[in-house]
Amino acid sequence: MSQKGVTPRGEDYSRWYNDLVQLADLADYAPVRGCMVIKPYGYELWENIKNALDIRFKQTGHKNAYFPLFIPMSFLQKEAEHVEGFAPELAVVTHGGGKELEEPLVVRPTSETVIGHSFSQWIQSHRDLPLLINQWANVVRWELRTRLFLRTTEFLWQEGHTAHATAEEAEAETMQMLDIYADFARNEAAIPVIKGRKSNQEKFAGAEASYTIEGMMGNVWALQAGTSHYLGQNFAKAFDIKYRDENNEQEYCYTTSWGLSTRMIGAIIMAHGDDTGLRLPPRLAPIQVVIVPIFKNEEQKGPVLEAAHRIAETLLTVNIRVHVDARDEKPGFKFNDWEMRGVPLRMEIGPRDVESGTVVLARRDRPGKEGKSTAKQDEIRAAVTRTLTEVQSGLLEQATTFRDAHLHEANSLEELKESIDTEGWALLPYDGSAEAEAKIKEETKASSRCFPLEGGDVEEGTKCAITGRPAVGKAYFARAY
Amino acid sequence: MSQKGVTPRGEDYSRWYNDLVQLADLADYAPVRGCMVIKPYGYELWENIKNALDIRFKQTGHKNAYFPLFIPMSFLQKEAEHVEGFAPELAVVTHGGGKELEEPLVVRPTSETVIGHSFSQWIQSHRDLPLLINQWANVVRWELRTRLFLRTTEFLWQEGHTAHATAEEAEAETMQMLDIYADFARNEAAIPVIKGRKSNQEKFAGAEASYTIEGMMGNVWALQAGTSHYLGQNFAKAFDIKYRDENNEQEYCYTTSWGLSTRMIGAIIMAHGDDTGLRLPPRLAPIQVVIVPIFKNEEQKGPVLEAAHRIAETLLTVNIRVHVDARDEKPGFKFNDWEMRGVPLRMEIGPRDVESGTVVLARRDRPGKEGKSTAKQDEIRAAVTRTLTEVQSGLLEQATTFRDAHLHEANSLEELKESIDTEGWALLPYDGSAEAEAKIKEETKASSRCFPLEGGDVEEGTKCAITGRPAVGKAYFARAY
């Protein structure tokens, strides 16, 4: 059943998405074209994403730092592929303090160049390596077609930048961060992403190899939710990032970069949302439990509200993010409102519950009676903790079942077309060429998502299903954001 | 005694400051003029400042959100005083995506305008008030003379923006946030700031009244470390921020804004630092305790390191930020290094300590023997917690004594000159005029800092010590950053 004001997914998925973003109070368009205002509820979700990632970065030895917003145009030009990739998307500052600048400044679209410059000063000897840095920042890419969270001119993200003595160490870092993203997506955002390597056409401008986590959205489109790049010595040579090794010889470093952005919020909306609103994974939800007091008159109101607040206090002691909805509105209105906002667990408490020392719990991941249960007030912390864990794994399970039902193998353009047309992702033996990808895009609007790390290998002699040339592996093709 | 590489404060305060910022690894200049790179140690200090403030904002009902980096030039022009104040400092984006923009975009110097635009959409009824929002962001002001942390083209800050139904509520919010800043400065940064109101010349462009916390630095200069502005209906009228009251009538809101920036790091450096380096208040220090193992040979090394790590583990269980310095360097080198970085407490542990189950604690706020004590290893959590509290209050005490010794009353230009010349702040009956301030600046290079909230009142009939016109209060004058 669809909620008032929400376009059903089946009718218009794109409008459904916009409705949720607006009605759940996550974000709004800014007066500047393509920029967004992240509203408090959306920002709190981002803060929870941030904290969950930040702790993982710090546990693996990374330190946060901050680098400048502005980058001299000449810096971008030092890495040929890099500037070619980003030039069409740049915002350029030409005037400062009332004067025209001698050299235009670019508003960072990503910071490999300016951080590379710092690294070249910070790194002297092999003892300074590895250098493991992360930055939380805003970046700007001038996009023509924008969608809130998915593709905006300005967005928030983290960008990790590391330097290493050897290619092996840099490659291991690239894979470690990909694993961290996948772990985060799976265990915090409840999205069973697929890890894989990007084709040469889709890799980061200036990278040797790009890795991605790809999530399946509710309309079966793919969404790249995080990327990790092995940059080889490309940026080290462009920015002179060198170290003295044990034999006192100068060597270039090997570097990596990896990023995850506010786009993840779009992924969470589309991986879990339904026609009544958001469904937020408990580990990231700004409000994990909403308590709705139910009463018919003033006499009932006092004891019910008292119990609601007492239970909220109890839950706060174990750091459960709880909210008592004491607004002067009907329970039905409140139920709809919190379903729209995707609160994982609703607790209802009325006069009879007060008497019997119980409450009713209603899970957001399961509609109707199936998701309802009764819990004792004096065991409320355990009951809520357990139920939140169930909602978290419930969402992951549903997303995994949905994903697996839409993954297909394809061995020809025909089979690939059929997979895409029946709303699926097709795993196809692929030579990695631009030619094959262009043909597929033309016929199906699908693009290559990645050579999955698991299940992407092909036997010697396997041919690309499009060109007939030797396949380098199997790659997923899907329509994508 | 001065540390190697550090210019003594008495010789050149400004060089001393730069030396500390560089040698303690806090920050560096970026390749773009006037911008900075905040290095990991400096950024961790900022993260601790951020957390201490954020929790205070949330406890008082404020929510974080995020607004766009770019502001249409026309927005700034809607508030006449505002654009006049900021126009000379703007960085302007004229090109995006390879094309010249129809309307140039300003990189936000502050966000009253663009947030005002959102507020006008978010607020409909009196039930939407008060609206209490905070943003953590980067801002850009094109500065001609820059100093790391103190005045940089780009800096990090928080900016609070609130809207209220009445002038009284907005004024109460303005004062509440000023109190929060003062409480933070005093109890976290150990800086006994003076709260006061800015003169009309020094107030925020577009405000009705600006309030400030002013800290005294080690060279007796003043530093404005945070400001809270009562904006009246100025921005509400410029951006049409209206609400329907209980009688269904449209009314303009009253708004406030308040901000604190990475400048606070400069304040901490200069309020506490000495000739051997930083002295960080324990509540904000990235590392609160550094353990330096002391041994002469491999035989001693094992048990000493084992004890060091065991103690570190114990301290971590009570969330003390501890670091074991196991580098292959002499203890003396390590002592100097951690003194430079301002770590509040050093713990020394050698073979004899291992035998006797003790450690030596050395406080950063007290040099030599006076700051040393012995603690038992099996009571280490209590001993370290207690000593950190002592260092925190030790720094506040020293800063308060220093401040009070340099506050003077002055009743004439002559007395004011004498106060300023002997390195003090002068509290002077003042009419608030630009004329008096200009004269004082010309003669002494001092500017008006604030009319202090405590001790700033004058009796009816008191005259300004400069113009002879009626004084509106007593104001502090000092040389200032």
Q: Is the confidence at residue A1, as pLDDT, over 70?
A: no
Spatial contact of A429 and A462, defined as CB atoms under 8 Å apart: yes
**H-run or E-run covering A256:** strand A254-261
Count the neighbouring beta carbons within 10 Å of the beta carbon of residue A317: 8
Q: Which A residues, 38 through 57, put their C-beta within 8 Å of a C-beta on chain B?
A: 38-40, 43-44, 46-47
| Closest CB to A97 among B47, B65, B89 | B89
Q: In chain A, what residues touch B28 (CB-CB under 8 Å)?
A: 118, 121
ipTM: 0.96
Q: Is the confidence at residue B4, as pLDDT, over 80?
A: no
The packing angle between helices B298-316 and B380-405, to 10°, is 80
Model pLDDT, residue B414:
96
Mean pLDDT of A251-258: 98
Q: Is the confidence at residue B77, as pLDDT, over 80?
A: yes
d(CA A15, CA A12): 5
Q: In chain A, which residue's Cα lies nearest the Cα of B67?
A: A37
Mutate which of A93, A94, A121, A128 to test chain B, going by most B C-beta atoms within 10 A?
A93
Inter-chain residue contact B65 with A40, CB threshold 8 Å: yes
| Closest CB to A107 among B43, B93, B137 | B93
A61 interfaces chain B, CB cutoff of 8 Å: no
Spatial contact of A177 and A160, defined as CB atoms under 8 Å apart: yes
Looking at A7-47, which runs of residues are DSSP E strands? Answer: 27-29, 36-38
| Closest CB to B38 among A65, A71, A97 | A65
A92 interfaces chain B, CB cutoff of 8 Å: yes
Mean pLDDT of B247-274: 98
Domain boundaries A13-272, CATH class = alpha beta
Name B342's Cβ contacts closer than 8 Å, sequence gap at least 6.
Answer: B24, B272, B273, B277, B278, B279, B280, B285, B364
Q: In chain B, what residues touch A144 (CB-CB under 8 Å)?
A: 97
| Closest CB to A93 among B64, B67, B92 | B92
Looking at this protein, which amino acid is placed at residue A407? L
- Cα–Cα distances in angstroms (integers) from residue A10 to residues A13, A218, A428, B235, B397, in the given order: 6, 10, 28, 44, 67
Model pLDDT, residue A170:
98
Inter-chain residue contact A138 with B137, CB threshold 8 Å: yes
d(CA B405, CA A277): 63
Q: In chain B, which residue's Cα lies nearest the Cα of A98?
A: B88
Mutate which of B49, B70, B78 to test chain A, going by most A C-beta atoms within 10 A?
B70
- Cα–Cα distances in angstroms (integers) from residue A332 to residues A66, A293, A307, A329, A371, in the given order: 47, 11, 20, 8, 17
d(CA B73, CA A98): 13
Q: What does pTM read for this prediction?
A: 0.96
Model pLDDT, residue B2:
59
The residue written with tokens 């193992």 in the block is B293
Model pLDDT, residue B82:
85
B112 falls in which pLDDT band (50, 70, 90)?
Answer: very high
The CATH homologous superfamily for domain A407-478 is C-terminal domain of ProRS (3.30.110.30)
A2 falls in which pLDDT band (50, 70, 90)?
Answer: low
Q: Is the confidence at residue A367, as pLDDT, over 90?
A: no
Inter-chain residue contact B69 with A36, CB threshold 8 Å: no
What value does the mean pLDDT of chain B take? Answer: 96
Residues A129, A135, A140, A146, Cα dihedral to 10° = 110
A422 falls in which pLDDT band (50, 70, 90)?
Answer: confident
Q: In chain A, which residue's Cα lies nearest the Cα of B71?
A: A32
d(CA A429, CA B278): 61
Model pLDDT, residue A82:
85
A121 interfaces chain B, CB cutoff of 8 Å: yes
DSSP 3-state assignment of A75?
helix
Domains B13-272 and B289-387 share a fold: no
The packing angle between helices A263-272 and A13-23, to 10°, is 110
B185 interfaces chain A, CB cutoff of 8 Å: no
Length of chain B: 481
CB pairs under 8 A between A and B: 160
d(CA B155, CA B411): 39
Query: What DSSP letter does each residue of A181-227 carry, written as one string?
Result: HHHHHHHTS----EEEEPPTTTS-TT-SEEEEEEEE-TTS-EEEEEE
Mean pLDDT of B311-334: 96
Looking at this protein, which amino acid is placed at residue B391? V
Model pLDDT, residue A4:
76
Rg (CA), chain A: 25
Mutate which of B93, B122, B154 to test chain A, going by most A C-beta atoms within 10 A?
B93
Count the neighbouring beta carbons within 10 Å of the beta carbon of residue B318: 12
Q: Is the confidence at residue B313, as pLDDT, over 80?
A: yes
Please, how many CA atoms are within 13 Å of residue A204, restricted to the half-sphere of its CB? 27
Inter-chain residue contact B105 with A32, CB threshold 8 Å: yes
A72 interfaces chain B, CB cutoff of 8 Å: yes
Q: Is the confidence at residue B1, as pLDDT, over 70?
A: no
Inter-chain residue contact B65 with A97, CB threshold 8 Å: no
Q: Name the minimum distance, in Å, from the CA of A459 to any CA of chain B.
A: 44
B115 falls in which pLDDT band (50, 70, 90)?
Answer: very high
Q: Which A residues, 2 through 21, put their C-beta within 8 Å of a C-beta on chain B?
A: none
Inter-chain residue contact A98 with B88, CB threshold 8 Å: yes
A124 interfaces chain B, CB cutoff of 8 Å: no
Closest CA to B82 of B53, B113, B121: B113
Domain extents in chain B: 13-272, 289-387, 407-478
A185 interfaces chain B, CB cutoff of 8 Å: no
The dihedrals phi and psi of A138, each to the nearest 5 degrees, come to: -100, 145
d(CA A338, CA B2): 62
Q: Name the minimum distance, in Å, from the CA of A283 to any CA of chain B.
A: 19
| Closest CB to B63 among A40, A68, A154 | A40
d(CA B316, CA B322): 7
**Beta-bridge mates of residue B478:** B447
Mutate which of B32, B95, B111, B113 to test chain A, going by most A C-beta atoms within 10 A?
B32
Looking at this protein, which amino acid is placed at residue A426? A
Closest CA to A265 of B66, B96, B159: B66
Query: What DSSP letter does each residue of B133-190 carry, written as one string?
Result: EEEEEEEE---SS-BTTTB-SEEEEEEEEEEESSHHHHHHHHHHHHHHHHHHHHHTS-
CA B56 to the chain's CA centroid: 15
- Whole-number percent of chain B with pLDDT over 90: 95
Inter-chain residue contact A43 with B35, CB threshold 8 Å: no
Looking at this protein, which amino acid is placed at residue A147? R
d(CA A371, CA B356): 61
Q: In chain B, which residue's Cα lies nearest the Cα of A103?
A: B32
Tokens (6 digits) for A235? 């940026």
B423 falls in which pLDDT band (50, 70, 90)?
Answer: confident
DSSP 3-state assignment of B402?
helix
Q: In chain B, which residue's Cα lies nearest the Cα of A97?
A: B89
| Closest CB to B138 among A63, A87, A138 | A138
| Tens of pLDDT, residues A374-388 | 999 999 999 999 999
- Was domain A289-387 assigned CATH 2.40.50.140? no
| Tens of pLDDT, residues A151-171 | 999 999 999 999 999 999 999
Mean pLDDT of A444-469: 96
d(CA B183, CA B179): 6
| Tens of pLDDT, residues A108-128 | 999 999 999 999 999 999 999
| Tens of pLDDT, residues A403-414 | 999 999 999 999
Q: Name the minimum distance, in Å, from the CA of A84 to any CA of chain B.
A: 12
Tokens (6 digits) for B12? 């050149």
Q: In chain B, what residues touch A94 (CB-CB under 8 Å)?
A: 92-95
Q: Is the confidence at residue A353, as pLDDT, over 80?
A: yes
What value does the mean pLDDT of chain A take? Answer: 96
Model pLDDT, residue A423:
86
Model pLDDT, residue B5:
86
The dihedrals phi and psi of B2, each to the nearest 5 degrees, come to: -85, 150
Inter-chain residue contact B66 with A43, CB threshold 8 Å: yes
Q: Is the confidence at residue B396, as pLDDT, over 90?
A: yes
Q: In chain B, what residues touch A113 (CB-CB under 8 Å)?
A: none
Q: Name the minimum distance, in Å, from the CA of A66 to any CA of chain B.
A: 5
Q: Is the confidence at residue B322, as pLDDT, over 70?
A: yes
| Tens of pLDDT, residues A27-55 | 999 999 899 999 999 999 999 999 999 99
Closest CA to A191 of A392, A414, A453: A392
Model pLDDT, residue A259:
98
